[in-house]
Chains A and B, each alone.
Chain A
Amino acid sequence: DVKVTQSSRYLVKRTGEKVFLECVQDMDHENMFWYRQDPGLGLRLIYFSYDVKMKEKGDIPEGYSVSREKKERFSLILESASTNQTSMYLCASSLTGGASGYTFGSGTRLTVV
């Protein structure tokens, strides 16, 4: 069964901490994505990557950075966590091509206190 695995289901961090969210996929997908999901706002794209060491800003990149050193792993970094980054974070991956949908990880619910 193909999988996208996010390292933590729940995280609580303090304001100002550096936070790492890890995502690993075993499907050899080229593309990987980080979204945050908030009530009433839906899924908003933070960053995406279409190849190793490549990254592109999504719609809301401020306060975040990413790293993709290996094809299977895409990390989201909160340089200095703030309370407005409390959210559900979802990682996804896909093949390139029109018919390719996204496979999502189970999500990380991050609370910044």
Chain B
Amino acid sequence: GQNIDQPTEMTATEGAIVQINCTYQTSGFNGLFWYQQHAGEAPTFLSYNVLDGLEEKGRFSSFLSRSKGYSYLLLKELQMKDSASYLCAVKGGATNKLIFGTGTLLAVQP
């Protein structure tokens, strides 16, 4: 089967750095995605990792270790607008669909 775990909630301070972890178990692996979702809105794509290592995109970076079934999303120089849910999703399994974690609700405080 497939399973994705991420923390339910996190709190961080404006200007700081926060790391959101995601662990997964899947039969077959074709990549890991991070999405951002503001309250009442659709998820929007943030990053994609298929090989081990760090992918950097501006203030956001995502890391993958396939052998450990582990990823993290790193947000630097936090802004109030970064308050949102962050969804970890793994593509794999028999049907190669995206399977989503339940999301991490990040609250950025002044």
A→B interface (CB under 8 Å): 33, 35, 40-43, 45, 48, 56, 90, 94, 98-99, 101-107, 109
Contact = CB atoms under 8 A, between A and B. Distances in A.
Nearest to A100: B91
Contacts of A99: 31, 48, 50
Interface stretch (B16-24, B52-60, B66-74, B98-106): B98-106
A56 B95 contact: yes
Contact of A105 (B35, B42, B95, B101): B42
B87 A43 contact: yes
A101 B48 contact: yes
A106 B98 contact: no
A33 B96 CA distance: 13
Contacts of B31: 98-99
Contact of B97 (A42, A48, A104, A107): A48
A103 to B, nearest CB: 8
Contacts of A40: 102
B41 A107 contact: yes
Most chain B beta carbons < 10 A, residue from A41, A90, A98: A98
A56 B96 CA distance: 13
24 contacts: A33-B97, A42-B87, A42-B101, A42-B103, A43-B43, A43-B87, A43-B100, A94-B98, A98-B50, A98-B96, A99-B31, A99-B50, A101-B33, A101-B35, A101-B45, A101-B48, A101-B98, A102-B43, A102-B45, A103-B45, A104-B43, A105-B42, A107-B40, A109-B40
A40 B6 CA distance: 12
